[in-house]
């Protein structure tokens, strides 16, 4: 399979309550495009405090997991580096501090004894990466932001990353107290075609279909849809994909999901490579 695509990013001004904004240079604060930078670059430059925003399927979780891998590599070579751990905020409930919830999640999801989890927090060695703020129940979402801000302002927080769909985040009555926010851009047509083409024979049919069908190519500019296409259409001839571009977007996506699920079932049963 082809190498990963580096997603484009823009700095989204005003999306966070940056406590250090007053000491940043005007040029830095007004800069929007982040050409040539990786998610790890931005994370490091912004002091390990970052909000990742994007449309559904824009690659927010994928970007966070890519950052996680790079942070884990740093832990392997630097014993003083904080321990990055991904947490899904969908299980957070009002009435508990984020620190209490983190210790419970470490125990329930990662089998880390609560005493060790509490020690990680007390010693400021835990670096939480929070996925799915938009998956928190809507009536509780603002309270979750408050809980994150309280944690970020505590003496034990060494940094944090939060992912959220942009529409749900901008609808909130308050902002996260993080250093900066980025918005992921959709892929360009050139990126899609180059990536699929570099996969060679397994995706030759998809590559030809994307060149023929502009609507199908438009769908593929979503990293999630492109990933599903790459997994589902391996070895599929372009003739079999000929109708994809003339169906409605909803019909194409429904058909793709059905084909993806069917292929995964066949693979699980040992009937598909």
The helix-helix angle for 223-232 and 189-198 (nearest 10°) equals 30
Token pair recorded at residue 22? 């007053």
Domain co-membership, 156 together with 30: yes
Domain co-membership, 34 together with 158: yes
Domain co-membership, 69 together with 133: yes
Domain co-membership, 74 together with 202: no
Asked whether residue 62 is domain-assigned, the answer is: yes
Asked whether residue 48 is domain-assigned, the answer is: yes
Q: Which of 184, 205, 233 is the last residue of a domain?
A: 184
The whole model's pTM is what? 0.80
Domain co-membership, 143 together with 207: no
Asked whether residue 271 is domain-assigned, the answer is: no
Q: Which domain holds residue 170?
A: 9-184
Cα 214 → chain centroid: 26
Share the mean pLDDT of the chain. Answer: 83
Q: For 233, what's the count of Cα atoms within 13 Å in the CB-facing half-sphere?
A: 29
For 85-104, write each residue's pLDDT tens digit.
Answer: 999 999 999 988 999 999 99
Domain co-membership, 111 together with 212: no
Q: Which of 144, 162, 184 is the last residue of a domain?
A: 184
For 230-271, write each residue's pLDDT tens digit.
Answer: 888 888 887 777 665 555 556 666 766 666 566 665 665 565
pLDDT of residue 94: 92
Percentage of residues of the chain with pLDDT beyond 70: 81
- On the question of pLDDT at 162 being above 90, the answer is yes
Asked whether residue 1 is domain-assigned, the answer is: no
Q: Which of 184, 214, 234 is the last residue of a domain?
A: 184
Q: Residue 154 sits in a domain of what CATH number?
A: 3.40.50
């Amino acid at each position: 399979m082809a190498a990963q695509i580096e997603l484009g990013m823009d700095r989204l001004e005003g999306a966070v309550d940056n406590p250090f904004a007053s000491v940043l240079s005007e040029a830095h604060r007004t800069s929007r495009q982040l050409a040539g930078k990786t998610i790890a670059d931005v994370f490091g430059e912004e002091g390990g405090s970052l909000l990742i925003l994007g449309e559904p399927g824009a690659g927010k979780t994928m970007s966070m997991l890519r950052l996680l891998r790079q942070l884990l590599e740093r832990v392997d070579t630097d014993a003083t580096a904080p321990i990055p751990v991904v947490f899904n905020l969908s299980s957070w409930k009002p009435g508990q501090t984020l620190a209490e919830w983190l210790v419970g999640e470490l125990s329930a999801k990662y089998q880390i004894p609560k005493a060790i989890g509490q020690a990680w927090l007390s010693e400021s060695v835990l670096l939480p990466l929070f996925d799915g703020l938009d998956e928190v129940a809507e009536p509780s979402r603002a309270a979750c932001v408050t809980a994150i801000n309280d944690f970020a302002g505590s003496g034990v927080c060494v940094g944090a990353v939060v992912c959220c769909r942009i529409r749900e985040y901008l609808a909130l009555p308050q902002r996260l107290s993080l250093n900066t926010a980025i918005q992921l851009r959709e892929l360009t047509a050139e990126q899609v075609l180059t990536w699929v083409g570099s996969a060679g024979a397994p995706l030759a049919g998809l590559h030809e279909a994307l060149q023929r069908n502009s609507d199908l190519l438009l769908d593929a500019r979503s990293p999630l849809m492109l990933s599903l296409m790459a997994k589902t259409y391996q070895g599929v001839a372009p003739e079999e994909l000929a109708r994809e571009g003339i169906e409605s977007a909803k019909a194409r996506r429904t058909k793709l999901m059905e084909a993806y699920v069917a292929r995964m079932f066949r693979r699980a049963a040992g009937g598909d490579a």
